Amino acid sequence: MTDLIPSIDFDTGDHGESQIIHLTFWDLWMAIILSQRFNGNWDLLAAHFRAKAKPGGFERDHAEGLLNHLLHLRTTLETAGLTAADILTRVDPSVLKLNKPKAKRKVLEMQFQRHECSIWMIETPRKQREGRALQGFWDRFPVSPATFADGLAAIFKPGKLYEEDESFKL
């Protein structure tokens, strides 16, 4: 989801400069939940997501994505010298009222589809590590798969697509 809520002009207080912060609805929803349900405590909300992101859990991917988005939002706001409450005070009250139920559904109940995710929710640290592992960054593995790579590569025929059932034979 790339829809931005209207940009908010924040006064950073440094030499009278202003800084424009571009916020998505995910940022707004996180700020709403953070302020209303977790009293502005970033660590409590992060702990909530970590509890849901346990390996093997059906909410794992959603929780990891939300946690990653939360950490990036926190860094962005802290760099600008802002808090989640600052976002909420600058957003039109009618927009807040409309988005409170959505915030609960999307952030707390994790009811969203992949196409709705922010880039931070898609590009999680685990996904980035998996991508590097598939590209041969194997020197960090406890046992390097490089010793098996040539043998495995010889089994596969270049340009051939394999069905799932065939992968078990390989």
pTM above 0.75, yes or no: no
Tokens of 162: 């394999």
Q: What is the pLDDT of residue 17?
A: 64
Say how far apart CA 150 and CA 144 lie, in whole Å: 13
Q: What is the pLDDT of residue 30?
A: 95
Q: What is the pLDDT of residue 14?
A: 57
Q: What is the pLDDT of residues 129-169, one digit of tens each?
A: 888 777 766 777 778 777 887 887 787 777 777 787 877 76
CB 84 within 8 A of CB 30: yes
Tokens of 131: 């991508």
Enumerate residue ranges in the chain where pLDDT < 70.
1-19, 136-137, 169-170
How many CB atoms neighbour CB 6 within 10 A? 11
Q: What is the pLDDT of residue 63?
A: 94
Q: What is the pLDDT of residue 102?
A: 94
How many CB atoms neighbour CB 49 within 10 A? 21
